[in-house]
Amino acid sequence: MSRLLLENSNKATNPETPADGKQASNPTIDLDIDTSQIIWSTPRKSVELKDQVAVYSSLQDVDKPTSRLLFKKITKAFDEKVSQLATAAIRIEGLEARLEAAKPRKRRKVKMSPNSKFADIEAIHKAQLESGDIEAVEVESDASSEPEIIQECIVCK
């Protein structure tokens, strides 16, 4: 029967031993060097953080992987909280901007002269300035230049 079909085919049939009869001493690699003494979880609340710090301070011999893992978990929790706060702040600013844009604006009645059927542009512009829909724009004029004709426009919303 083939050796590949046997159940324990991965085992060596003839282990290699040195000629002097002693087995070679392979230094055993401790795979648990980079692991922590305690299984830490990322703290979600301040109570969990206080509990973990209390456990950490009660340890007799604190090794580097344990402290490294604990502080990695703590920084991860703080980063998550900061990220949530930043996202919430951006969302709040956007909602406040939408709320401000949705507010109805004050409107003023345009005062017309009793002799005209329609309001003139000056009266409309004055009513817009009073209600705060537009801001007053002052034009600086130079004495040496010719007076410029400035066209006014009506802001419709």
- pLDDT tens figures, 23-81: 544 444 443 445 666 777 888 888 888 888 888 778 777 777 877 888 888 888 889 99
Q: What is the CA radius of gyration of the chain?
A: 40
Res. 121: pLDDT tops 50: yes
pLDDT for 49: 82
CA distance 66 to 40: 9
Which of the 8 DSSP states describes residue 104? P
| Spatial separation of the C-alpha atoms in residues 39 and 51, rounded to whole Å | 13
pTM value? Answer: 0.41
Do residues 56 and 70 lie in contact, with contact meaning Cβ atoms separated by under 8 Å?
A: yes
pLDDT in tens, 92-103: 999 999 998 888
Q: Which residues of 17-51 are buried (b: 16+ CB within 10 A; e: fewer)?
A: eeeeeeeeeeeeeeeeeeebbeebeebeeeeebee
